[in-house]
A = this chain, B = another copy of it.
Amino acid sequence: MRPSGRQMNELRPVSIETGVSIHAEGSCLIRCGNTHVLCAATLEERVPPWVKGSGLGWVTAEYGMLPRATNTRMRREAKTAQSGRTQEIQRLIGRSLRAVVDRSALGERQITVDCDVLQADGGTRCASITGGWVALRLAVEKLMKSGDVKSNPVVDHVAAVSCGIHGGRVVLDLDYVEDSEAGTDANFVMTGSLGLVELQGSAEGATFSRDEFGRMTDLAESGVTELVAAQKAAL
């Protein structure tokens, strides 16, 4: 039995509430169990220097956590530098979103997706990708409605889920308790058609085998399929 009473292949309840910001071009509040992430997409008619003049757009992401999103209060990042963990996560979110964007269809404009964790209970980077995609998609919709963009630059869904080996068994969508006890922890980012975008597997303590990794991939495919359905329902 998992600590939460869930089945091995059972996601936490997912809800995606859109339009939560009066300012952002696209926004949603995604809740995966007790993990809550506010995603806000900002559209700007400018691109970073290395893109300028290329005719291509740019999509980037930033990630943050409120100091008391966690069980123990963390030092506010504005008072330190961004941690390595934070930078690693926001680079991952950015690459994941860009993987499904046709930057030429977007044209020379930039979309920044801010993913701010209001409450954390494991899986914040995955929730950020899944919710971030919704915010991005809504911002792009606005752009298409205004006629600034002709064809949809978001060419597929992208969603993410974690798997792990907990108590010797392969499980889907780890919450904080499982995550801190798991021997292996892996994040899978996939498109709507289950193409692999990003894989990150990491052993803590024991190593893992190719077979175990294969079974985690099976679970991830079923999880991402459900998350993509939730994205569709939210739009």
Task: Please list the residues of chain A having a beta carbon within 8 angstroms of any beta carbon in chain B.
Answer: 21-24, 27, 34, 38, 40, 42, 44, 62, 64, 66-71, 73, 76-88, 90-91, 95, 99, 112, 114, 116, 118-119, 121, 186, 190-191, 195-203, 205-210, 213-214, 217
A/B interface sample: 19 pairs, CB < 8 A: A21-B68, A21-B119, A22-B34, A27-B68, A38-B66, A38-B118, A40-B67, A42-B67, A64-B78, A78-B78, A78-B80, A99-B207, A191-B207, A195-B207, A196-B203, A196-B207, A198-B201, A198-B202, A199-B199
On chain B, the residues within 8 Å of A95 by CB distance are: 202
The residue on B at minimum CB distance from A40 is B68
With A27-B68, A196-B209, A199-B199 known, 11 other A-B pairs at CB within 8 A are: A23-B69, A68-B114, A73-B114, A76-B114, A77-B77, A78-B82, A87-B88, A99-B207, A196-B207, A196-B210, A199-B202
Expressed in whole angstroms, the Cα–Cα distance for A42 and B21 within the complex equals 27
